[in-house]
Chains A and B, each alone.
Chain A
């Protein structure tokens, strides 16, 4: 079961970002406000690829590992 982190949808005060919990470290991280469900972002804390599972609340999960048939 992938590790999940969640935090309520929170717009930061002066920027177009969302706050979420890094599922690996538990730290609060900022995401661009236009982030999409299904989008992959790099954790600014660990560099781990995280998948956006939902936006309300913001839930991040460790992204699936590369599989052999991925690509173009």
Chain B
């Protein structure tokens, strides 16, 4: 197949993906979105005759716009702009999960310091304040006292960007020192791992220790439903165990749409890039048959 890869930075994840695509003899068109222009009817990017484009943009804003434009030209793109739109915003993400009746941490959004403080007080301490857009655990705050809440809210109000004035407040989930990351393609798990840390943030990007994890039936069901809830695609579904490691109960706190997989590839025996390319090949074949490429 002839596959386009949208990017602005080649990380190890993209390197693994590019190697796997080329090893299989696929023709790869690397599209650095920083160098292209996107018009209402066409783009400077060489997307003619591509069987599929896979979005690997590191920047959420570029990802959302570039996929939206390509989709408008009729270029098959994964993940879809609709999936990206839901996943890129934590508030939309939480709403999609709740609407699908998937267990997810209790969440409130407020637009002023005063109402955000009310939300925080109603959750009690500790609770969590997150930016609606962002990743890798950045600018996330676990709030233990009212004094801390007031200080953090004041700081956020002065940060400048309007998104920092959308206060996303969430209950603190007392997870057992780890959370779970599952990579799934249209709801079908490819691999899963735990991310453990003494810190409340367990993201691999924050130095969390990773270990392969076998999803049980309940987790499998939640991964599939969470994928469907955001529109399907290649997704990183994040779960936390509720009530300890043996409870078999989970809450899904987030679904990521430009999922990194290098940590998962290292932590598990699964050849993650190979599984991803299997899926891309299936998507390209479906697109060639005139089928929608999203789930």
Q: Are A36 and B10 in contact (CB under 8 A)?
A: yes
Q: Indicate whether A37 reaches chain B with its CB closer than 8 angstroms.
A: yes
Among A1-9, A11-19, A23-31, A64-72, the one that faces the other chain is: A64-72
Q: A residues engaging B (CB < 8 A)?
A: 34, 36-40, 51-52, 63-64, 67-72
Q: Are A39 and B15 in contact (CB under 8 A)?
A: yes
- A63 to B34, alpha carbons, bound, how many Å? 13
Q: B residues engaging A (CB < 8 A)?
A: 7-11, 14-15, 18-19, 30, 32, 58-61, 131, 133-136, 138, 161, 236, 256-260
Q: How far is the CB of B72 from chain A (nearest CB, A)?
A: 21
Q: Are A72 and B259 in contact (CB under 8 A)?
A: yes
A72-B236 contact given A38-B30, A51-B9, CB 8 Å threshold: yes
- Closest A residue to B63 by beta carbon equals A69
- A52 to B257, alpha carbons, bound, how many Å? 26
Return the contact of B258 from the options A37, A68, A72 (Cβ within 8 A): A72
A69-B30 contact given A38-B10, A39-B10, A63-B9, CB 8 Å threshold: no
Q: Are B11 and A40 in contact (CB under 8 A)?
A: yes
Q: Are A36 and B15 in contact (CB under 8 A)?
A: yes
Q: Are A38 and B134 in contact (CB under 8 A)?
A: no
The residue among A34, A39, A64, A72 with the most chain B CB atoms within 10 A of its own CB is: A72
The residue among A39, A52, A67, A70 with the most chain B CB atoms within 10 A of its own CB is: A70
- Residues of B within 8 Å of A63, CB to CB, are 9
- A71 to B204, alpha carbons, bound, how many Å? 12
Return the contact of B9 from the options A34, A40, A69, A72 (Cβ within 8 A): A40
- Residues of A within 8 Å of B259, CB to CB, are 72
- Residues of B within 8 Å of A34, CB to CB, are 19
Q: Are A70 and B161 in contact (CB under 8 A)?
A: no
- Residues of B within 8 Å of A40, CB to CB, are 9-11
- Closest B residue to A49 by beta carbon equals B9
- Residues of B within 8 Å of A52, CB to CB, are 10
Q: Are B32 and A71 in contact (CB under 8 A)?
A: no
Q: A63-B9, A68-B161 are in contact. List 16 more A-B contacts (CB 8 A).
A: A36-B10, A36-B30, A37-B10, A38-B8, A38-B30, A38-B32, A68-B133, A68-B134, A69-B60, A69-B133, A69-B134, A70-B136, A71-B58, A71-B134, A71-B256, A72-B260
Q: How far is the CB of B238 from chain A (nearest CB, A)?
A: 10
Q: Are B10 and A72 in contact (CB under 8 A)?
A: no
In the complex, 12 of the A-B residue pairs with CB atoms within 8 angstroms, ordered by the A residue number, are A36-B30, A37-B30, A38-B7, A38-B9, A38-B14, A40-B10, A40-B11, A63-B9, A70-B58, A71-B135, A71-B256, A72-B260
